[in-house]
């Protein structure tokens, strides 16, 4: 079974590696995630060289079927986030 690394796991690992307190690591990680959210919500992309980039993608409106009622429903257009893996991360995973 694969292990799932959670935010507290990351905070602890970063704290042990950098010798920075877990409180400071948590604040930094929270600030990073908030900045990524804010940037994406403005419609801009976030690129972390060697890791990857977060990009906004537009999904077109479409028709879908409700499996319970078999009725056709309209799904409105919406924006979503795509992650494109960077070369450094790609090589590390391979």
CB 76 within 8 A of CB 61: yes
| Cα 70 versus chain centre, distance | 33
Q: Is the per-residue pLDDT at 23 higher than 90?
A: yes
Could you read off the pLDDT of 55-94 as tens digits, one per residue?
A: 999 999 999 999 999 999 999 999 999 999 999 999 999 9
CB 82 within 8 A of CB 63: no
Please compute the mean of the pLDDT values over residues 31-57 and round it to a whole number: 96
**Domain covering 45-94 assigned CATH 4.10.520.10 in the classification:** yes
Please compute the mean of the pLDDT values over residues 36-59 and round it to a whole number: 95
CB 45 within 8 A of CB 56: yes
> In terms of C-beta density within 10 A (0-12 exposed, 13-18 middle, 19 or more buried), how is residue 11 classed?
buried
């Amino acid at each position: 079974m694969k292990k799932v690394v959670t935010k507290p796991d990351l905070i602890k690992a970063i704290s042990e590696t950098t010798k920075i307190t877990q409180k400071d690591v948590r604040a930094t990680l929270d600030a990073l995630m908030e900045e990524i959210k804010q940037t994406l919500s403005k419609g801009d992309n976030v690129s972390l060289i060697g890791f990857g980039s977060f990009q906004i993608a537009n999904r077109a409106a479409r028709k879908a079927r409700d499996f319970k009622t078999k009725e056709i429903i309209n799904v409105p257009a919406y924006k979503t986030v795509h992650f494109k893996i960077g070369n450094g991360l790609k090589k590390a995973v391979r």
